[in-house]
Amino acid sequence: MGRMRAAVPSDASGSDAPTIDLLIRPTGELTVKGPRTVPVFLRALRSAVRDALKRAGLRPRVRLAHRRLEVRIPVPDGGVDAARHLAREALARVFGVGSFSFVTASSRADLDEIVAMATRHARDRVRGRRYAVRCRRAGRHPFRSTDVERAVGAALNDGATVDLDDPDEVVHLQVVDRRALLHGPRIAGAGGLPVGTGGRALVLLSGGYDSVVAAWALLKRGVAVDLVHFRLAGRSDERRALQVAKLLSDRYASGSRPELHAVDFTDVVADLRRHGDDGHAQLLLKRRMLRAADAVADRLERTEAEARAAGRSRHRWARIDALVTGEALAQVSSQTLANLRALDGAAERPVLRPLLAMDKTEIIERAEAIGTAALSARVRETCGIAAGRVETRAEPRRVDDLEGALDHALLQRAVQDAVRWPLRSLRAEELTLPYLQVDRLPDRAVVLECSAGPRAAGGGPPGSVHLPVEAIAERRHELDPDRTYVTTCPFGTRSAHAAEILQQLGFDAYAFRGGTGALEAHLERRAVEAAQATAPDA
């Protein structure tokens, strides 16, 4: 990387462009691993750091130096302060980073030059204050770290007071091989291990607090994750899951390329309700989800193997070694030890439950800390399908027998039709438009006519309810959270806004594409088709 310059404006000649330089220290857990393992982990960390900074809009150069990372970033148009803020925010969420510091200045690893550099850049900072000098060293040098501390301390002592126990200011120095760095205080990193060093898993993601925190916990332990979401009650739930998955990916999955696979489970749930036992319904649904997740993982492994064989590898981890859920012991009646035992036989892969011993308060606090709580709070609970008492001590054989009566072809078809969403390349409009509009009226849906002001007599489709966009928040208590709503207006503009508001409030809501005229035409066609279907043969 060459000599590192302080992040200052270039001189008048323009020969030296300003840079921001950083020193990154891996977590202690990383550096104590075996001599063959450490380089692998450090390379993964370098890739993750580079990825995080690039996605923050910076152009970093990252190199390894004695189990540390040194980063140089050209200052962009926004200026030094803005770039430092972007770098700090990005690095604070990279797993494997123990701490990092901004470098103030550098010199050759010569004792006299180190003293001169420290004096020039730290004298004003320590004047009239109590201070200490701390030096760390890596490599072979004709001096010790204590020699540096004493020499720099003596040079700064004029007008200041040394206090090793309780200093107001600390002068930090790092000497690595032939270079010495003067840097600022340590900023805590995210800890954990670099993503990808712990293999790969598939997380069952509803989008609620539990499953998101479970995915985050695996990422922190170095496991690259893909996600599978089961759509149980409308596409608006899939949209919310995608939003929180996108946030999780952008913030915490640096160095990897997570995907979300959306599986429509509507027919599977309907089959379960027809043939399942109500007391075991929750367990049967979870078993179907685990079987489907296992099948999705099989498909992903085959896809990766085919890509590698064809020379189209995307540098992803081919094997998926585990499934992950957000289950916590006794959080709900279906999550007892006996029931968890009855679930595990549904999947060939082990099922990991990183939140097993956490309570709901702890999980929500963690979601708030990592920034996903606000989105998860909008996710509706849709997997509660049991109408009566839920079995809390299920017998595995009994659950096996009940599941055997279900239609396995429906499960296979749902997996085959799964929709793949590459989270890193997902655009904002993809999180909105496909989930706001429909071109057919779902069964038992309530039509909301959203024109402004009082509705004229006969306005809107027959049976529709008039609810202006401006009144939605005030009248939300009039709406049934278990029903699906389709909004409409003459031109289809206000209805899209209304559907967006309703979805944000937690309702399963959509706008009919094309407005009221298109909806009325659809209803007429449906009436004609129904009449033809029931008419006696000629």
Does residue 332 share a domain with residue 225? yes
Under a CB-based contact definition with an 8 Å cutoff, are residues 326 and 366 in contact?
Answer: no
- The single-letter code of the amino acid at 328 is A
Return the CATH number at 119: 3.30.2130.30
Residue where one domain finishes, among candidates 126, 153, 188? 188
Tell me how far the alpha carbon of residue 226 is from its chain's centroid. Answer: 10
Does residue 184 share a domain with residue 230? no
Residue where one domain finishes, among candidates 431, 451, 484? 431
Across 321-339, average pLDDT = 88
| DSSP alpha helix (H) spans, 37-110 | 37-55, 80-91
Return the CATH number at 529: 3.40.250.10
Beta pairing class for 169-176 and 179-183: antiparallel
Does residue 117 share a domain with residue 65? yes
What number of CA atoms fall less than 13 Å from residue 330's CA on the CB side?
Answer: 3
Q: Is residue 159 part of a domain?
A: yes
Does residue 526 share a domain with residue 400? no
Whether 442 shows a pLDDT value over 90: the answer reads no
Number of H helices, E strands in the chain: 17, 20
Across 345-356, average pLDDT = 93
- Secondary structure of 378-431 as H, E, C letters: CCCCCCCCCCCCCCCCCCHHHHHHHHHCCCHHHHHHHHHCCEEEECCCCCHHHH
Structural domain total, the chain: 3
Does residue 160 share a domain with residue 213? no
Does residue 319 share a domain with residue 271? yes
Does residue 210 share a domain with residue 161? no
Does residue 458 share a domain with residue 342? no
The pLDDT value given to residue 32: 85
Residue where one domain finishes, among candidates 154, 188, 222? 188
Does residue 451 share a domain with residue 427? no
Structure tokens at 319: 């094997």
Q: What is the pLDDT of residues 204-213, one digit of tens each?
A: 999 999 999 9
Structure tokens at 25: 């220290």
Under a CB-based contact definition with an 8 Å cutoff, are residues 516 and 488 in contact?
Answer: yes
Beta carbons within 8 Å of 478's beta carbon, 6+ residues apart: none
The domain containing residue 23 runs over which residues?
Answer: 19-188
Q: Is residue 231 part of a domain?
A: yes
Structure tokens at 333: 């009646």
Q: Is residue 522 part of a domain?
A: yes
The pLDDT value given to residue 387: 58
Is 489 labeled as catalytic in the residue annotation?
Answer: yes
| Mean pLDDT lowest among 55-69, 245-259, 260-274, 453-467 | 453-467
Q: Is residue 10 part of a domain?
A: no
Q: Is residue 386 part of a domain?
A: yes
Quickly state the pLDDT bin for 10 (edges 50, 70, 90).
very low
Q: Is residue 6 part of a domain?
A: no
Q: Could you give the CA distance from residue 43 to residue 268 in angstroms, rounded to a whole number? A: 44
Does residue 221 share a domain with residue 352? yes
Give Dmax over CA atoms of the chain in angstroms: 110
Does residue 74 share a domain with residue 58? yes
Quickly state the pLDDT bin for 410 (edges 50, 70, 90).
very high
423 vs 386, more confident? 423
Does residue 367 share a domain with residue 250? yes
Q: Could you give the CA distance from residue 171 to residue 150 in angstroms, rounded to a whole number? A: 12
Quickly state the pLDDT bin for 105 (edges 50, 70, 90).
very high
Q: Is residue 271 part of a domain?
A: yes
Residue tagged active-site, from 135, 383, 450, 489 = 489
Q: Is residue 204 part of a domain?
A: yes
Return the CATH number at 344: 3.40.50.620
